[in-house]
Amino acid sequence: SAVISQKPSRDICQRGTSLTIQCQVDSQVTMMFWYRQQPGQSLTLIATANQGSEATYESGFVIDKFPISRPNLTFSTLTVSNMSPEDSSIYLCSVRLRANVLTFGAGSRLTVL
């Protein structure tokens, strides 16, 4: 299975600022997924990032708020822009491998003050 590294693992940010989360995979993958897990909640898909094309966003998520980059087959970034306390969540990067299994990074725990 793939190993996924996410940075930062956690951060505390001020309202109105932006934070970029990095996701590095140790193998080449076509699709990378970004999820949000709000406190005490399940996972919600933010967007799917394909290399060489724009990310596909789920309902309720927009590119201006969550811009995503996918420069190659092993790396992606998610930016949380103009943060508010409601953005305090765990952000998880995920890839889909053989047998349609999702593998997750350890997550980036974001607290917005």
Partner 1 sequence: AQSVTQLDSHVSVSEGTPVLLRCNYSSSYSPSLFWYVQHPNKGLQLLLKYTSAATLVKGINGFEAEFKKSETSFHLTKPSAHMSDAAEYFCVVSESTGNQFYFGTGTSLTVIP
70 residue type, one letter? R
Element (H, E) at 81: none
- C-beta closer to partner 1: residue 56 or 82: 56
Burial of 5 from C-beta contacts in 10 A (0-12 / 13-18 / 19+): middle
Write down the least CB distance from residue 33 to partner 1, Å.
Answer: 8
CB closer to partner 1, 65 vs 109: 109
Token pair listed for 101: 């299994």
Name residues contacting partner 1, limited to 70-109 (CB under 8 A): 92, 96, 99-107, 109
Residue 99: helix, strand or coil by DSSP?
A: helix
**Region from 22-30, 42-50, 60-68, 70-78 binding partner 1, contact rule CB under 8 A:** 42-50
Residues that bind partner 1 in the complex, under the rule CB under 8 A: 4, 6, 41-45, 92, 96, 99-107, 109
